[in-house]
Amino acid sequence: MDTDLRLQKIRQVAARADNLAESVDFYRNVLGARFLAQYDPPGLGFFDFAGVRLLLERNASKATLYFQVDDIDTACAALESRGVTFDERPHMIFKDAEGTFGPAGQEEWMAFFKDPAGNILALAGRK
């Protein structure tokens, strides 16, 4: 058995899509995600986020997806202009004093909203 195995890259995330057409439209036209394919039936939609594949699936479990952004305030304003309502406005989640997740002293900021199926989406950035 290889005890040195370390899983380090997410290949795909699955999220629930109660109404596949509505969810595909949201990710494609509101979030601007790169659309890959849609198969209906069985009710699957695929998007690419810089090499991480998002699978939207009818009847899947709900998920939380975190999207990295350079400027969280600008990203929130852009999504609001497209009709997104935030459940939680940008706020500091964590002060990374020791540099565990990036440069020491920076703050991790997040803002939360939902897609049409109720999956929680978050913008994540550092200040």
pLDDT digits (tens, 9 = 90+) for 78-125: 999 999 999 999 999 989 898 888 889 999 999 999 999 999 999 999
**pLDDT attached to residue 5:** 57
Q: In terms of pTM, does the model score above 0.85? A: no
CB atoms within 10 A of CB 116: 19
DSSP line for 6-42:
------EEEEE-SSHHHHHHIIIIIS--EEEEEETTT
**Residue 61 sits in a domain of what CATH number?**
3.10.180.10
DSSP letter (8 states) at residue 30: I
Angle at 123 between CA 120 and CA 127, to 5 degrees: 145
Total tally of structural domains belonging to the chain: 1
Q: What pLDDT was estimated at residue 105?
A: 93
Encode pLDDT of 46-56 as tens digits. Answer: 999 999 999 99
Structural domain contains residue 2: no
Answer yes or no: is 96 within a domain. Answer: yes
Residue 95 lies in a domain: yes
